[in-house]
Structure 1
Amino acid sequence: MASDSWASDGWGDLQLPKLSISKKIKPPEFSSPTQLVTFVVGKGKEKEIFVVHKEHACRYSPVLDKAFNSEFKEGRTQKYEIEDTNPDTFRIFVQWLYSQKLTHIHYDEHWELEVDDVHKIDCTKGTISRIELWVLAEKLLIPQLQNEVMRLLRLVGRTCVHPFERHVNYIYQNTADNSVLRRFVVNLIAWAAPSSEYKQYPHLYPHEFLLDLVTVFSAAVPPRTAANKRYRLDDTDYFVEE
């Protein structure tokens, strides 16, 4: 359940996150260019194999560093399985490992929001890949990548809220309470989506999201305004016809 602290921690503020200047990680020196690790990504027919230089994987992710240099299965096999990430998303992650850039994420690709015949809007195709990439970066403890992705998500959110609505369930299923990604999508939808959306497409919004949304709306109302609204309630407005 949403906690009261969320309102005081900026749940009502949709400004572009102010990112602290983190210390840049020194790139790998290729001291062991023949050491490779394997990633098995996806499920079933969608599964793909990626082979990456171990130095790159371990340099940017403490999670991978610990896994590949341990006595656990990943350390013995030098293989890491990730079932809950799309191979296309992981491909972007691998490119980032080597280039430290996300310039390969394009803005000219579009997908159609298939909710029904009326509610079809062209939005950026790569939004779900960006969201998945942020979630993957969180799991692998790579805050630099999370912040880069957030900047891209914010740019998309300035012009289109619909892809975020479609993927609220994914975000809530793959993030924890007080996640900044949750905070971002709640604020974006709160101040961009029309009120009719919530009843028209209830399947898009999980219970936890609605609780967070109420917290944002409640925190946005000045105390004096809330008091005036409360004391001006007229019981006759709520009478039933006799």
Structure 2
Amino acid sequence: MKKGAAAQKRAKQNFLSALETACRIYGPARGWCLYDYESFEGTAYHPTVAQKIVGLAFLGAVSAWEDFVSETYLGYLSGYPSDKGYLPKLCCGPALNRKHALMLASGEANGSDADRKMRWNNPRWVKSISKIHFSSNNPFNMLPENCVKRLEAANVIRNRVAHNSSKAKMQFKHLANQMIEAPKEAPLPPGFSPGMLLIEMVEPHPALHDLEGDEHHWGDIFEGYMGLWKRLADFISP
């Protein structure tokens, strides 16, 4: 195995394991989000608590995606190929290691400053800097536009889970209305949370059909994102 390939393989495995963990948390909580007055007594958690659990499971998956992008990108910049030998063409020579790659990518010699400069949660920023370090046909730059938009939407959902600011609320309202094909400024139902959006079924909404996978258990937005991230992991690190 070529130098660094094991590290790239591990980064992908860790990401896929994080998605599996998110699904294990999500599965039971999804059912607890749905109740009527007759069934409420038998639920393990109050539905609003269950919705928060769903949101936190999604937040964990978003964070795992950012870690995967970071580790894989810096690995490629260090000349580390994927498990199957793929390596995007470097515009210059490889970095000495991932730590050195981070310094090169950020333009900062101090590790803390370098970390703060990186915006791995922003797919358009990653696409942009990838054209500096790799040939233009690198997988970060070649992410389809619809996938970029889905990744941006995931950040909006994550921010609403993590923050209660007016900006986070407004962005989430606009996104939720877009996903369920309601007017942009339409008020959301009382108590409509990220957890409720994530259990929304994909099939009735044409705008969400790109999240449908060949295999599915729940058929909702949460599961659609899990499938999307798995496909993108294979695209970035074949």
Shared topology, TM-score over 0.5? no
Give 1 or 2 for the bigger CA radius of gyration. Answer: 1
TM normalised by structure 2 equals: 0.28
Return the structure number with greater helix share: 2
Return the structure number with greater strand share: 1
